[in-house]
């Protein structure tokens, strides 16, 4: 069949040069006669991979010197539990509810009996989310330990175009689906976490970026593997980390640097979003976007067709045209195209061309 244009929401597309380099190095990494998967996590070759990945991440993302980078397992879902465990042993945390993953983060704080406040919610009566809140809607407790937001909502196709002003309250950002998609300001960002499998690498590893002063607020007496201090103190090597996933993160960061860094990636993402959302504006009665324009996501574009039968036909015919991963999330239905960093402008143009043809045949 050959390679398709992959619009899956995650695990998702990886840059072709990354896959090719991984293939070339798979059997014999760096002249060692074995795969990086076979190396000890404490061997010098993997330690170099780990160090290089963090150095590249700092350079590509512009991470200030007062932040630590650690690698964890368990996806963002585990971070939902670790955050209240580590930071809400005293005081209260603020959460903004904008979708499924924000709801799950709040649920974990509730399970642990921690104090928290919903600073804003955009949940509608039908359970859907069509936007993120405006700054004026946020009711932030000035004494909160943190303000938690999900910067991009994969299921509902909404994304923050700004980072909230939160005074002295540090931001904790779940950036699982839009990390590295555009330049960001680290001002007042206490922590970022992201499952790598959308924009930064494969599934199996979660990146956590912690500001130094956040480490001073950690709860004492936690189980060893549940404390962020363990990961920082042991350079993510207290136990065996997902070595092949970290290696692939390094390759993705090398690719990002080689193509011109985040400035170039941001230009591509802007172009891709304008192309695809342009189809909604051109055929508004056929391709109906599900989000308010001001909250439209660059990463996950969601829409409906006039009826579900047409949606099923659209997905099936798109697959035949080598356009994969377009079925909407099971909770909301419809169509979803994920435009993560590795999705090319060429791929989005192919999708738009298919949409033109599909409209002509089915209007």
Three-class DSSP category at 302: strand
pLDDT of residue 27: 97
Candidates 54, 68, 94, 101; catalytic one: 101
Query: Where residue 96 falls among pLDDT bands split at 50, 70, 90?
Result: very high
Q: What is the pLDDT of residues 250-271, one digit of tens each?
A: 999 999 999 999 999 999 999 9
Q: CA–CA separation, 18 vs 12, rounded Å?
A: 13
Beta strands 158-159 and 288-289 are unpaired
Q: In angstroms, what CA-CA distances link 55 with 71, 254, 304?
A: 14, 11, 42
Classify residue 288 as exposed, middle or buried by CB count within 10 Å of its CB (0-12, 13-18, 19+): middle
Residues 153 and 295 sit within 8 Å (Cβ to Cβ): no
Task: Say which residues have a Cβ less than 8 Å from residue 290's Cβ, sequence separation at least 6.
Answer: 128, 130, 156, 157, 302, 303, 304, 332, 334
Query: Cα dihedral sign for 12, 256, 26, 75?
Result: negative
Q: What is the pLDDT of residues 6-43, one digit of tens each?
A: 999 999 999 999 999 999 999 999 999 999 999 999 99
Q: What is the pLDDT of residues 32-89, one digit of tens each?
A: 999 999 999 999 999 999 999 999 999 999 999 999 999 999 999 999 999 999 999 9
H/E stretch holding 175 reads none
Which tokens in the block code for residue 251? 């390759």
Beta strands 115-121 and 92-97 are parallel
Which tokens in the block code for residue 205? 């590893």
Q: Is 174 a residue of the active site?
A: yes
- The β-bridge partners of 277 are none
Q: What is the pLDDT of residues 176-186, one digit of tens each?
A: 999 999 999 99
Candidates 94, 114, 141, 174; catalytic one: 174
Neighbours of 161 (CB within 10 A): 12
Q: What is the pLDDT of residues 193-205, one digit of tens each?
A: 999 999 999 999 9
Report the percent of the chain where pLDDT is more than 90: 99
Neighbours of 234 (CB within 10 A): 13
Residues 333 and 308 sit within 8 Å (Cβ to Cβ): yes
Q: Determine phi and psi for 361, rounding to 5 degrees.
A: -80, -20
Query: Cα dihedral sign for 50, 55, 58, 60?
Result: negative
Does the structure show a pLDDT above 70 at 340? yes
Query: Where residue 1 falls among pLDDT bands split at 50, 70, 90?
Result: low
pTM of the predicted protein model: 0.97
Q: CA–CA separation, 22 vs 158, rounded Å?
A: 33
Q: CA–CA separation, 88 vs 81, rounded Å?
A: 11
Q: Is 104 a residue of the active site?
A: no
Question: Quick one: which of 228, 159, 222 has its CA closest to 193?
Answer: 228
Q: What is the pLDDT of residues 136-170, one digit of tens each?
A: 999 999 999 999 999 999 999 999 999 999 999 99
Residue-by-residue DSSP string for 54-102: HHHHHHHHT--TTEEEEEESSHHHHHHHHHHHHH-SSSEEEEEE-SHHH
Residues 36 and 46 sit within 8 Å (Cβ to Cβ): yes
Q: Is 198 a residue of the active site?
A: yes
How many CA atoms within 13 Å lie on the side-chain side of 138? Answer: 21
Candidates 54, 198, 250, 272; catalytic one: 198
Report the percent of the chain where pLDDT is more than 70: 100
Beta strands 206-211 and 67-72 are antiparallel
Q: What is the pLDDT of residues 295-314, one digit of tens each?
A: 999 999 999 999 999 999 99
pLDDT of residue 2: 86
pLDDT of residue 39: 96
């Amino acid at each position: 069949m050959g390679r398709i244009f992959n619009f899956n929401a995650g695990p998702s597309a990886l840059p072709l040069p990354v896959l090719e380099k991984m293939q070339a190095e798979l059997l014999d990494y760096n002249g060692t006669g074995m795969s990086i998967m076979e190396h000890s996590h404490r061997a010098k070759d993997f330690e170099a991979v780990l160090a290089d990945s963090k150095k590249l991440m700092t350079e590509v993302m512009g991470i200030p010197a007062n932040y630590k980078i650690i690698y964890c397992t368990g996806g963002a879902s585990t971070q939902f539990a670790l955050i209240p465990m580590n930071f809400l042993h005293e005081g209260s945390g603020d959460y903004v509810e904008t979708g499924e993953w924000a709801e799950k983060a709040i649920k974990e704080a509730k399970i642990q009996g921690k104090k928290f406040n919903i600073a804003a919610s955009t949940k509608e009566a039908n359970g859907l989310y069509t936007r993120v809140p405006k700054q004026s809607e946020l009711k932030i407790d000035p004494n909160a330990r943190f303000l938690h937001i999900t910067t991009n909502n994969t299921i509902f196709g909404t994304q923050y175009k700004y980072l909230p002003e939160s005074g002295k309250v540090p931001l904790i950002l779940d950036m699982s689906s839009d990390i590295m998609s555009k330049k960001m300001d680290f001002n007042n960002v206490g922590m970022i976490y992201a499952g790598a499998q959308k924009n930064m690498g494969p599934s199996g590893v979660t990146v956590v970026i912690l500001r130094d002063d956040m480490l001073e607020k950690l709860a004492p007496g936690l189980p060893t593997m549940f404390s962020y201090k363990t990961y920082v103190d042991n350079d993510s090597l207290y136990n065996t980390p997902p070595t092949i996933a970290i290696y692939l993160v390094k390759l993705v960061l090398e690719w990002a640097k080689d193509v011109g860094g985040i400035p170039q990636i941001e230009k591509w993402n802007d172009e891709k979003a304008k192309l695809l959302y342009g189809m909604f504006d051109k055929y508004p009665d056929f391709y109906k976007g599900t989000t308010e324009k001001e909250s439209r996501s660059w990463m996950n574009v969601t829409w409906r067709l006039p009826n579900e039968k047409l949606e099923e036909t659209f997905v099936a015919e798109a697959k035949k045209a080598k356009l994969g991963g377009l079925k909407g999330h099971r909770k909301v239905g419809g169509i979803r195209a994920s435009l993560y960093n590795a999705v090319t402008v060429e791929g989005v143009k192919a999708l738009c061309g298919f949409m033109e043809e599909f409209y002509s045949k089915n209007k």
